Structure 1
Amino acid sequence: MEKYCINSWNQIVELLNSDAKQGISENDCGALRAKYGTNKIDLPSGNKIYRHIFNALKEKSAIIFIIIVILLFVLKSFLYGGISALILIVNLTLTIRHTIKRDREIGTLERLNFAQTTVIRDGVQKTIRSEELVMGDIVKFSKDSVIPADIRIISATELKVDEKNITGEAFYKEKFENKIIGSIYSLTDMKNILFKGSAIKSGSGTGIVISIGNSTQLGRMLAMLTYASNRKHNFGAMIYSTLEKYLIAYFVGIIIIGSYLVFTGQETQKNYFATALFLLACFPITIIAKLVFNRVIKNFLDDDIEIINFSVFNLVKDVNILFLDKVGAITKREMIVKKMYINNDIIASNDPYIKEITFDRIIEISLLCNNAVYNISEEAAKGDLDELAFIEFAAKRNIFKGSVESANSKILEIPMDSDKRFLTVVSKFQRRYRANTRGNVDAVLDQCTHIMIEGVEKELTEEYKNSVKEMDMNLSIEGLITQGFAYRNFTYEPSKSENIESNMVFVGIIGLENPLEDDIEHSINRIKDKAIVPILFTEESKLSAITNAKKANIIRNTNQVVAGIELDSLNHQELKDLLCRVRVFCRVNPEIKSKIVSLFIKDGHKVATTGETLGDLPALNLSNVGIGKGKASTIVKKVSDVFIQKNYIDGFFKIRYFSRVFDRNIDRGFKIYSMTILTELLVLLGTLIIGQTECLDFWNVIIINGLLLIPLSLIILLKNGREIGKNEVIIRALIFSIINMVSIYKVDGKEATIVPLTIISMEILLYTLFNSSVSIRRFSKELTMAMIALLIIIIGIAGVILINNIIPRYIIVIELSVSIIFLIIFEILARKWQNSLMR
């Protein structure tokens, strides 16, 4: 890209075999597309459905389930095989649907590929779709045009461009056609390049297409969405990886024992083998995952935290570097006018208002150079924080923006940009005109030849200049954000073509305070206590940043703060060395920010980064955890893992705490699932040994594994509980299977099917309630799930009795009642014993 900047536009036109007046030939477009590609940005929505199916089928767990289905049909257990196949299809369908939906959400950005563009081809001006552009096309643009590709400017007339989507800068950039002399360090230095996705705010011109489609700066940013999607969405893989460990262990065991049973040739033994396989296949894991997914997301939405990538609960656990933006984390989302420097004197914001010309003038300028809206009575505000602070300060002194604007009608506005860090509004009052300017103190002061002192315009001497700069420094050292104010009177209506922003009269400085969060020191200590290093990005001056960072306990000495301008000249190694000590970066552009993030990641750190604009996309994408915040756009949210509108430090720790609890709960869930399967397999083996032919049948497995585990899994996964050891799983499975065998002994026929259904179901239910500490004394979501589980057990038992036409004997009812009472007593004693060990 740099070669297009440092060479003249006619050299670029020649390099691309084009013509500034005639454009390219329509006949050459096909060859150019074949060589360079199209101007269409590829997005994930283009993924074919077969890819999603293939990705789902290549999971080891899916392969095991497929093998089980095949074996069941080979064993001629068609009912078992059919239901297992149905469960497999449901699991795969939900998994595939989730991945397709995720890609389609990103694919809504496809509209960026479609727009109308004016080009010159064969000397004729025509309108085409932007996706039809090719390298070397000559493009015409004017006010409100959206740039369709990366373009080197050939001619420009008063051209100002909004590049916020690309560079992240909120200022309009002035662009020109001349080649750039000197070094180019970032995108913001490319003042003769227009980037795809940026908007023309004023002026017009022509240019030549130098980059298209995925090769454009915007294309590279959007490509990050696909990369982030593939790299970060790992929660499902983690779940299936854990499931595979249990499946493989049980599957291998069942195959070894089952193979022996099949080779003996007895039909009954083959049925046991088929039932054992069905036990494993009858597990609606994706239904459980979907229900848990929805519940967790809803719970966090109630706390104003939007979980975009569910895998954030995996990613957040190991974070050891937390990049923070000042507003919304360190400071409140508000600014307050704290001090004012006018007439060579400091005025505090709480000083009584005395009508005076200089004071009234600085307030007037602050309201005219202001696009915010603030309703004092309704406390409704919309606009930048500094502009809202000016309006509020003036309103408390009964000076209102509406009244000032009605007396000073706006003629034109000259916006702020990154080179000229001040804005100017020309207004008409009575029969005269005035240019009102607000912005960076040094930048404003450089445009001034006079200064207003007690209403009188005096020559701006070096003594006055030094006094202003010294006061600006002192206010910054106090941690205030400073802005300078100036004006220039005209006896005629000035035009944009003349140098309006010169020979101005300096009025004064307003110092704004962006208050620290009330408990910020506690928050920063909380971050450090978790062995996480907080690193701050801020837009304030270095002096102000030092003061506020010390107050917030982020830094201890001044060499831990560095300004963006100091980083521009550093090479890769120098920047890397600097990062070892720096904890605050001031006025850093998005390109440098992403470079800083990438260096930490390359060193093996796990990084969480916050962002709000498209300029933050590279940093959000590179980081292990991307946190969208504030007024983040749709694209920023898509590439982020989580969106936290307000205090994202608290939100970060809520996610981090839940991730650790959730991780333990997933482990508990799989161990209770393992305990259930092991108990059932031991019961099957026991009944085979004692010759009980009818015990765990089709309906038992469907009710326990297919239905009961759903509400119980929700309790386990959403409610914090006690950890479960591997030995406990084995011991409990043995105990539960022995209780079942004792109860089944000497029970004949279909009546035996009631016993394991009742006892195993109640075992799992009671164990889940005790392990998760679910109280039956107060209503809760977990108690509701427990009641649903109990209802499934009761309906299931009644259904089995009706299906098998069983009339339970009195002795069976007594046995089951005694077993349930024993289980309750056993759980109570076991819990007391475990509690005593923990003391």
Structure 2
Amino acid sequence: MEKYCNNSWAQIVELLNSNVQSGLSENDCEALRLKYGTNKIDLPSGNKIYKHILNALKQKSIIINLIITIILFVFEHYLFGIITALILLLNLILIVMHTIKRDKEIGALERLNSADTVVIRDGAQKIIKSEELVMGDIVKINKDSVIPSDIRIISANEIKVDEKSITGEAFYKEKFESKIVGNIFSLTDMKNILFKGSIIKSGSGLGIVISTGNSTQLGRMLTMLTYASNRKHNFGTMISKILERYLLIYFLGIIIIGSYFVYTGQDANKNYICTALFALGCFPVTIIAKLVFKNIIKSFRNENIEIINFSVFNLIKDVNILFLDKVGAISKKEMIVKKLFINDNLISTEDPYVKETTFDRIVEISLVCNNAIYNPSDDSGKGELDELAFLSYAARKKIYKAAIDSRNSKILDIPMDSDKRFSTVVSKFNNRYRANTRGNVDDVLEQCTHVMIEGIEKEITDEYKAKIKEVDMNLSIEGLITEGFAYRNFTYEPSKSENIESNMVFVGIIGLENPLEENLENTINRIKDKAIVPILFTEESKLSAITNAKMANIIKNNNQVVAGIELDSLNHQELKDLLCRVRVFCRVNPEIKSKIVSLFIKDGHKVATTGETLGDLPALNLSNVGIGKGKASTIVKKVSDVYIKENYLDGFFKIRDFSRVFDGNIDRGFKVYFIALFSELLTLVGSIIMGQTGSLEFGNVVTINGVLFIPLSLIILLKKGRDITRNEMIVRSFVLSIITMVSIYKLGDKEAAIVTLTILSIGILLFTLFNSNISVRKFSNELIMPVISLLVIIIAVISMILINGILIRDIIGIEIAASIIFLLIFEILARKWQNSLMR
């Protein structure tokens, strides 16, 4: 991509065998399409619903419920069959909708493939579909155009473009046709390139297609996103496997017992078989899952944590390697100017301001080469941390950027890149011109032939250069981040083609502090206590990184820190051996970062990585848990599993701690449901023995399994509770069923149905409340679901009484009250017994 930026548009047109006036020939387009590929991005297609349905139908839980539905219809229990079929259909629809929703936002980009585009071919303007574009096509660009491919600008008429989805920058970018001098550090530096998927907000122009389809920046990102989506979304699979295990055990049990009755000719007991199967199939698991997902996501959003992939709760609990960016994790998101080296002296920033030429010059350069916005009245601002620090320091000395800018109009901006770690702004002042440079001290010093001391430019000697480097090293050892400053005066306006950044005058060094977090020791101990190894990425020098990492208790030895430049020459095995000891990486490029992450994953580690730029995409995509942070773009967020704008380390632990609780809650949820189901099945068996035919009927099953378990599940899944053992499941089930059978003994069918519904429902509700540690002493939000559950039971009982026209006898009321009191006492005693065991 850099070659398209660094060469003139005329050279690019010639390179691609095109012509600005006539464009490509239609006869050549098909050959180019075969050579470079089409301009169509392979996206998850929104119209292939059948594939989502087929994938859902492969789940064993769906297959079991489908078999249950078929059996109910075969046994001519049509009402049971219809309800089970409706619940099955609803579960299926919600599963399919969930998978479609995952792809929807990506699939919406399908319009990029089919949008109309104006091109020049065979000397004439034509309107074609975007997917028909080929490398070398000449494209016309107008306001509100969606850029159809990656395009090198040929002519630009005040073009401003919204490329937030590509670069993450919220403001509109100005674009031009001139070639860019020097290497390109990031996509944001490619100011003569328009990226596929961005939108022209103003202006017009002409450009040539330099990349199509999956080869575009957007295409590569979406390929990464699709891969991450397919690999990481495993929460539904985990839930399905747990459900399958329970369903299969109960289903086989019912089928085996039912087959015996059918085989022995006891056809009358087919009703019991169908009721048992109906109870098994009448479970709206996806409705419960959707409500739980919604509540949890909302809860985390209130804490400024955006859950993008719900499977993060399944992925994060096994993480044992945590890659961190220094700023925002162990250090604050701020920098402070602490020391200056000027006039052969090291001075403190607390010293009073005395007007002096060298001091004024270094401050002036720090403000000219500065894109941050700062408000001195409340010490707030927006921009890079070092630039904000320069503005804050200058304001304390009563020097303001607005005043400096009014005297220095910007003429030319030469950005920093990977080969030269400094940037330059050429400004005009008093009919003269000055190149103002700031960046890495060593790199800036290499461009200098003179040094300013007390306002006088003197030729710089090798000895003095050595002293400057020594000062820089000492400041780094103190843990400061250093930047060098230089300038060069011109009597004429310099052009981009000449070597502006040479023969410069060195002014001095500014040392900045990036303060460590106050509670850092607790934070690092918290990470290590969880058996997680923290590994740091930082942009500071190696010496500064060693000092700060030791202060943070991340390293003990200097050889645990390595600079990116040291890694460039290592082969695969050497790099792998190095990773065993290194805990801090300084100034590594995105390629090396993703390589480091992949090596840890190949070794079997579970890795979490943070990132916010497009360069972080590969590492985020490879890691088990990707954490987007800060100013992450839309694409970066989508590749991430979670987005935490601020305090992402705290957010990581909130998610991890909740995942452990949630994992236990899911297990409890299924166990409570199958306690209810087992109790129902035992009650059915007891009814057969007692000759009671109406104890568990359609209304009971629908109320308990289909309705009541929705609020009960929210209580269980959202509130931490006690673990439930298998023995406890069996004991609870027998207690519930025995009390129910005793209560319905010698009752009529309709009365027995009401008693069964009441006792089973209240029993399950009481167990859920005691197990979930919900306080009933005062009303709170956590009591809403129990109140709803109680209302469901009351409404269901009253409805059954009214529908069946039953007059409740005193004995029935007494039996129900006695049963509830017994269950309440049983739960109180059971809880006390559990508490005594825990002691």
TM-score, normalised with respect to structure 1: 0.90
Aligned to 1:376: 376
> How much does 1:715 deviate?
0.9
Q: Is the 8 A contact 2:197 2:218 kept in 1?
A: no
Aligned to 2:743: 743
Aligned to 1:98: 98
Find the aligned partners of 1:115 and 1:468 in 2 and give their Cα distance. 58
Tell me, what secondary structure is at the counterpart of 2:717? helix
Aligned to 2:815: 815
Tell me, what secondary structure is at the counterpart of 2:338? strand
Find the aligned partners of 2:141 and 2:423 in 1 and give their Cα distance. 25
Larger mean CA deviation between 12-21 and 791-800 belongs to: 12-21
Find the aligned partners of 2:237 and 2:632 in 1 and give their Cα distance. 29
Q: Is the 8 A contact 1:162 1:172 kept in 2?
A: no
Aligned to 1:625: 625
Aligned to 2:287: 287
The Cα offsets for residues 150-192 of structure 1, whole Å up to 9 and x where unpaired, read as 799999xxxxx999999999999999999x9xxx9x999x99x
Aligned to 1:58: 58
Find the aligned partners of 1:99 and 1:128 in 2 and give their Cα distance. 33
Question: Residue 571 of structure 2 aligns to which amino acid in structure 1?
Answer: N
The structure-2 alpha-carbon separation of the partners of 1:403 and 1:113, relative to structure 1 and needing over 3 Å to count, comes to: farther
Tell me, what secondary structure is at the counterpart of 1:381? strand
Tell me, what secondary structure is at the counterpart of 1:44? coil
> How much does 1:86 deviate?
1.1
1:785 matched to 2:775: no
Aligned to 2:388: 388
Find the aligned partners of 1:163 and 1:69 in 2 and give their Cα distance. 52
Larger mean CA deviation between 760-769 and 396-405 belongs to: 396-405
> How much does 1:513 deviate?
0.9
The structure-2 alpha-carbon separation of the partners of 1:128 and 1:562, relative to structure 1 and needing over 3 Å to count, comes to: farther
The structure-2 alpha-carbon separation of the partners of 1:730 and 1:221, relative to structure 1 and needing over 3 Å to count, comes to: same
Question: Residue 713 of structure 2 aligns to which amino acid in structure 1?
Answer: S
> How much does 1:32 deviate?
4.4
The structure-2 alpha-carbon separation of the partners of 1:424 and 1:322, relative to structure 1 and needing over 3 Å to count, comes to: same
Q: Is the 8 A contact 2:695 2:753 kept in 1?
A: yes
> How much does 1:265 deviate?
5.0
Find the aligned partners of 1:401 and 1:531 in 2 and give their Cα distance. 48
Aligned to 2:763: 763
Tell me, what secondary structure is at the counterpart of 1:521? helix
Q: Is the 8 A contact 1:40 1:214 kept in 2?
A: yes
> How much does 1:195 deviate?
10
The Cα offsets for residues 494-524 of structure 1, whole Å up to 9 and x where unpaired, read as 3334433222221111111111111222212
Aligned to 2:526: 526
Q: CA RMSD in A?
A: 3.9
The structure-2 alpha-carbon separation of the partners of 1:617 and 1:780, relative to structure 1 and needing over 3 Å to count, comes to: same
The structure-2 alpha-carbon separation of the partners of 1:169 and 1:578, relative to structure 1 and needing over 3 Å to count, comes to: farther
Aligned to 1:700: 700
Aligned to 2:213: 213
The structure-2 alpha-carbon separation of the partners of 1:127 and 1:438, relative to structure 1 and needing over 3 Å to count, comes to: farther
Find the aligned partners of 1:751 and 1:389 in 2 and give their Cα distance. 79
1:577 matched to 2:593: no
Find the aligned partners of 1:475 and 1:525 in 2 and give their Cα distance. 28
Q: Is the 8 A contact 1:167 1:590 kept in 2?
A: no
Q: Is the 8 A contact 1:433 1:492 kept in 2?
A: yes
The structure-2 alpha-carbon separation of the partners of 1:339 and 1:15, relative to structure 1 and needing over 3 Å to count, comes to: closer
Q: Is the 8 A contact 1:166 1:195 kept in 2?
A: no
Aligned to 1:313: 313
Aligned to 2:639: 639
Aligned to 1:674: 674
> How much does 1:294 deviate?
0.9
Tell me, what secondary structure is at the counterpart of 1:451? strand
Aligned to 1:616: 616
> How much does 1:743 deviate?
0.4
Question: Residue 495 of structure 1 aligns to which amino acid in structure 2?
Answer: S
Q: Is the 8 A contact 1:163 1:172 kept in 2?
A: no
Aligned to 2:158: none
The structure-2 alpha-carbon separation of the partners of 1:147 and 1:342, relative to structure 1 and needing over 3 Å to count, comes to: farther
Q: Is the 8 A contact 1:381 1:388 kept in 2?
A: yes
> How much does 1:361 deviate?
1.2
Q: Is the 8 A contact 2:112 2:146 kept in 1?
A: no
Larger mean CA deviation between 269-278 and 39-48 belongs to: 39-48
> How much does 1:214 deviate?
2.0
Question: Residue 489 of structure 1 aligns to which amino acid in structure 2?
Answer: N
> How much does 1:615 deviate?
1.4
Larger mean CA deviation between 417-426 and 766-775 belongs to: 417-426
Find the aligned partners of 2:231 and 2:648 in 1 and give their Cα distance. 23
Question: Residue 43 of structure 1 aligns to which amino acid in structure 2?
Answer: L
> How much does 1:434 deviate?
2.3
> How much does 1:267 deviate?
5.5
Q: Is the 8 A contact 2:46 2:100 kept in 1?
A: no
Find the aligned partners of 2:757 and 2:651 in 1 and give their Cα distance. 44
The Cα offsets for residues 39-61 of structure 1, whole Å up to 9 and x where unpaired, read as 12112244611111111111111
Q: Is the 8 A contact 1:629 1:648 kept in 2?
A: yes
Aligned to 1:460: 460
Larger mean CA deviation between 506-515 and 410-419 belongs to: 410-419
Find the aligned partners of 1:70 and 1:271 in 2 and give their Cα distance. 15
Question: What does 1:287-686 align with in structure 2 at a 5 Å threshold?
Answer: 287-686=287-686
Aligned to 2:69: 69
The Cα offsets for residues 18-77 of structure 1, whole Å up to 9 and x where unpaired, read as 899987531242354356541121122446111111111111111111111111111111
The structure-2 alpha-carbon separation of the partners of 1:601 and 1:47, relative to structure 1 and needing over 3 Å to count, comes to: farther
The structure-2 alpha-carbon separation of the partners of 1:305 and 1:837, relative to structure 1 and needing over 3 Å to count, comes to: same
Aligned to 2:776: 776
Larger mean CA deviation between 773-782 and 701-710 belongs to: 773-782
Tell me, what secondary structure is at the counterpart of 2:655? helix
The structure-2 alpha-carbon separation of the partners of 1:487 and 1:18, relative to structure 1 and needing over 3 Å to count, comes to: closer
Tell me, what secondary structure is at the counterpart of 2:495? coil
Q: Is the 8 A contact 1:320 1:533 kept in 2?
A: yes
> How much does 1:378 deviate?
3.6
Find the aligned partners of 2:670 and 2:324 in 1 and give their Cα distance. 37
Find the aligned partners of 1:344 and 1:115 in 2 and give their Cα distance. 63
Tell me, what secondary structure is at the counterpart of 1:499? coil
Find the aligned partners of 1:164 and 1:809 in 2 and give their Cα distance. 71
Find the aligned partners of 2:79 and 2:162 in 1 and give their Cα distance. 65
Find the aligned partners of 2:120 and 2:20 in 1 and give their Cα distance. 9
> How much does 1:307 deviate?
0.7
Tell me, what secondary structure is at the counterpart of 2:484? strand
> How much does 1:238 deviate?
0.7
The structure-2 alpha-carbon separation of the partners of 1:222 and 1:368, relative to structure 1 and needing over 3 Å to count, comes to: same
Find the aligned partners of 1:793 and 1:165 in 2 and give their Cα distance. 50
1:806 matched to 2:806: yes
> How much does 1:806 deviate?
0.7
The Cα offsets for residues 66-101 of structure 1, whole Å up to 9 and x where unpaired, read as 111111111111111111111111111111111111
User: How many residues of Structure 1 are paired with residues of Structure 2 in the alignment?
Assistant: 828
Q: Is the 8 A contact 1:164 1:614 kept in 2?
A: no
The structure-2 alpha-carbon separation of the partners of 1:169 and 1:300, relative to structure 1 and needing over 3 Å to count, comes to: closer
Question: Residue 55 of structure 2 aligns to which amino acid in structure 1?
Answer: N
Find the aligned partners of 1:139 and 1:795 in 2 and give their Cα distance. 68
Question: Residue 102 of structure 1 aligns to which amino acid in structure 2?
Answer: R
Find the aligned partners of 2:416 and 2:162 in 1 and give their Cα distance. 11
The structure-2 alpha-carbon separation of the partners of 1:753 and 1:303, relative to structure 1 and needing over 3 Å to count, comes to: same
The Cα offsets for residues 646-703 of structure 1, whole Å up to 9 and x where unpaired, read as 1222111111111111111111110111100000000011101111111111111111
Q: Is the 8 A contact 2:424 2:501 kept in 1?
A: yes
Q: Is the 8 A contact 1:140 1:206 kept in 2?
A: yes
The structure-2 alpha-carbon separation of the partners of 1:43 and 1:383, relative to structure 1 and needing over 3 Å to count, comes to: same
TM-score, normalised with respect to structure 2: 0.90
Question: Residue 222 of structure 1 aligns to which amino acid in structure 2?
Answer: L
Question: Residue 259 of structure 2 aligns to which amino acid in structure 1?
Answer: S
Find the aligned partners of 1:488 and 1:705 in 2 and give their Cα distance. 80
1:224 matched to 2:212: no
Q: Is the 8 A contact 1:139 1:206 kept in 2?
A: yes
Tell me, what secondary structure is at the counterpart of 1:569? coil
Q: Is the 8 A contact 1:424 1:437 kept in 2?
A: yes
